[in-house]
Amino acid sequence: MNDAIRMQISAFVDGELPDNEADLLLRRMGQDAELRHRVAEYLAIGRTLRGETSVPGVDRIHERVAAAIDDKPLDVPNETGGTPSTTAVRPLIGLAVAATVALVAIFGLQQTLSVNGTDSQPLEGAVAEIDDGYTVPKPMDDQLRQYYLSHGETATENGANGINSRFVVLRLNEEQLEESVVEDDSVSTDDADDLATQP
Amino acid sequence: MSIRWRKSSTQLITLVGLLLTVGSVLAGSVEPREWLNRMAAAVQSTSYEGTVIRIRGGEAEALKVVHKVVDGVIREKVVAQDGNGLEIIRNGNEVHCILPDRKSVLVEQWDDQSTLFSTLPSSDIRFGNEYDVSIVREDRVAGRQTNLLAIRPHDGYRYGYRIWLDTETGFPLQTQLIGGDGSAIEQVKFAEIRLNEEILASSLAPSYSTENFRWFNQKGRHVTRSVDSDWASNDLPRGFRAISTHEEKMPGSERFVTHILYSDGLANVSVFIAQNDDGNSQGPSSVGGSNSFSAVMDEYHVTAVGEVPAMTVEQIATTMRPR
């Protein structure tokens, strides 16, 4: 990933990328997992450190957080509540990036994650180098976010979950769905023939 | 929630009727733990319709909720009053999350019986000696008479709870998660509610026609398998014990992570043990009332996560050792 792309991502996250370039970037994200991951990382960082549930250019936030959505045809959901029989259905898998960013949004996370035990550590690695004009906050640890989510699921399965966990699920669902829709839009544009049609 | 309610409608009606009848009589004499039992039964069997306010960190959100139990099957509709109008429609285990502005629906399976209010454990929970449970006072919430039940931890390793239970039914009308300084970290409260009144089927239907919406299906996030682990804390806070141990794959990874769940009967802490990689974070982190702490033990990266104070996860994470 070259510096130009990194600059472009940074501007996109800040809502400063021109529309035509933003659209192009979104298309690339639909096909480039690394790009999706990098954008999601920037998003998580920005949201976390700013204590925001969104960042500038909010309408495109979810487009930047392309989750690991499987775009293969998939099983039909149960026919509850009048699921239309001719609707295309897409699977959501891991959602590693999307779900974790969603988790941040849900809680309005005031992240105190420290890197190597020091809160004030500068950002390490490529992310820190990208753009002097963009205040790059510390990275959220995707693995840690997955741990939070997994803990919630496992505790619930064992019947002694926290009292408010369903509220968390509500927001997770919302975030995941929005991100999936955007991802789906991107996939549809480039590969419409692969879409599944529910019988 | 492993215990499933598959009672007949007659039994449920009888149960609810019994609760309604004897509720006010028992209100002044029921033991605190009996209140917990009543709450558990009420959450599982009560139909209700109302507005819930969730408050956390100075922010509040409102949700319209309709909840009905028919033959032990939960039907529920939740509509966010702010933002984009998210709707959650639950029919048994199948859940449809409708995003009207996106004209999309996410389909999920909730294979438990927990509802919008996840139930607190009933009186047979393994509280042990780590908490006191008491009725503090009578109060009013959402225009109804309640009894305030307090669950106080004996030490700083866990949070407390305050639960306002409807005097007639035992239904929790307000809940608070209480930090060590006595302040509410998070609370959920009904602003208005109708309990056990007739709920029309139309009230549970989506507010939008989803005929032309796109549908998405969410698959399970983790691959898990139960295992025996050699890992254990050599200084586990009192009252906690391991209640499950398994391995799972995190999304995007092919490597298994060992996941041990500790519980004191109310509070839960997960410990994740993975091969350490360069760049793994260490130290504390917090998300709302949940805390985590990561540490490196030889070639392993150990992280403890739970709805407990920071000191609890730190102690557990830093004392995990292979036996």
ipTM value for the complex: 0.74
Enumerate residues 6+ apart whose C-beta is below 8 A from A67.
Answer: A36, A40, A92, A94, A95, A96, A97, A98, A99, A176, A179, A180, A183
Sort residue B51 into left (φ over 0), alpha (ψ -120 to 50) or beta. Answer: beta
CATH 3.30.200.100 residue ranges of chain B are: 223-322
Nearest to B270 among A150, A162, A166 (CB): A150
Q: Would you say domain B223-322 falls under CATH 3.90.550.10? A: no
Measured at the alpha carbon of residue A33, what is the angle toward residues A28 and A39, in degrees to the nearest 5? Answer: 75
Nearest to A144 among B112, B252, B292 (CB): B292
A87 contact residues in B (CB cutoff 8 A): 211-215
Nearest to B102 among A74, A88, A177 (CB): A177
Beta-carbon pairs below 8 A across chains A and B: 260
| CA neighbor of B262 nearest in space, from B283, B288, B231 | B231
| CA neighbor of B149 nearest in space, from B162, B159, B167, B138 | B162
Q: State the angle between helix axes of B9-26 and B32-45 in degrees (0 to 180), rounded to the nearest 10.
A: 150
| CA within 13 Å, CB half, B245 | 10
Distance CA B14, CA A52 (A): 49
Residue at A141 is within a domain: yes
Residue at A199 is within a domain: no
Distance CA A39, CA A22 (A): 12
What is the number of other CB atoms lying within 10 angstroms of the CB of residue A30? 23
Residue at A111 is within a domain: yes
When divided into structural domains, chain A yields a total of: 1
Per-residue pLDDT of chain B (323 residues), as tens digits, is 333 333 344 444 444 444 443 444 444 556 887 888 888 788 878 899 998 887 766 667 788 899 998 887 888 898 888 777 888 888 888 888 888 888 888 887 765 555 555 445 544 455 557 888 899 999 999 899 999 999 899 999 999 989 999 999 999 998 888 888 888 887 888 888 999 889 998 999 999 888 888 888 765 556 677 888 899 999 999 989 898 899 998 876 788 899 999 988 888 899 999 998 877 888 998 776 778 999 999 899 999 998 899 999 999 999 999 98
The predicted pLDDT at position B237 comes to 95
CATH 2.50.20.10 residue ranges of chain B are: 9-217
Among residues 53-112 of chain B, which lie with CB inside 8 Å of chain A? Answer: 54, 56-57, 59, 63, 78, 80, 83-84, 86, 88-89, 91-92, 94-97, 99, 102, 104-108, 112
> From the first residue on, what is the mean pLDDT of each consecutive set of 10 residues in chain A (199 residues)?
76 69 66 65 55 36 32 32 38 32 30 30 30 36 77 68 45 56 55 34
Q: What string of DSSP letters covers A34-65?
A: HHHHHHHHHHHHHHHHHT-S--SSGGGHHHHS
Is B290 in contact with B265 (CB distance < 8 Å)? no
What pairing do the DSSP bridges indicate for beta strands B223-226 and B48-56? unpaired
Alpha-helical regions (H) of chain A: 3-13, 19-31, 33-50, 61-64, 96-107, 126-129, 142-157, 165-191
Domain that holds residue A8: 3-73+83-191
The predicted pLDDT at position B169 comes to 92
B286 contact residues in A (CB cutoff 8 A): 109-112
Nearest to A108 among B57, B188, B216 (CB): B57
Q: For an interface test with A, give the residue of B212, B305, B314 to mutate (most A CBs within 10 A).
A: B305
Residue at A64 is within a domain: yes
Distance of CA B23 to the CA centre of its chain: 25
The predicted pLDDT at position A158 comes to 64
CA distances from B68 to A82, A152, B77, B291 (A): 19, 25, 9, 34
Phi, psi of A185 (to 5 degrees): -60, -45
Fold entry, domain B9-217: outer membrane lipoprotein receptor (LolB), chain A (2.50.20)
Q: Tell whether B120 lies on the interface with A, counting CB pairs under 8 A.
A: yes
Distance CA B305, CA A121 (A): 22
Read off the DSSP letter of residue B118: P
Yes or no, beta carbons of A147 and B188 under 8 Å apart: no
Yes or no, beta carbons of B59 and A162 under 8 Å apart: no
One-letter identity of residue A157:
E
Q: Tell whether B182 lies on the interface with A, counting CB pairs under 8 A.
A: no
Q: Tell whether B227 lies on the interface with A, counting CB pairs under 8 A.
A: no
A112 contact residues in B (CB cutoff 8 A): 284-286
Phi, psi of A23 (to 5 degrees): -60, -40
Stretch (H or E) spanning B256? strand B256-263
| CA neighbor of B42 nearest in space, from B204, B202, B163 | B163
A99 contact residues in B (CB cutoff 8 A): 221, 251
Measured at the alpha carbon of residue B206, what is the angle toward residues B202 and B211, in degrees to the nearest 5? Answer: 120
What would the two tokens of residue B223 be? Answer: 């691959």
Distance of CA B109 to the CA centre of its chain: 16
Q: Tell whether B213 lies on the interface with A, counting CB pairs under 8 A.
A: yes
Residue at A179 is within a domain: yes
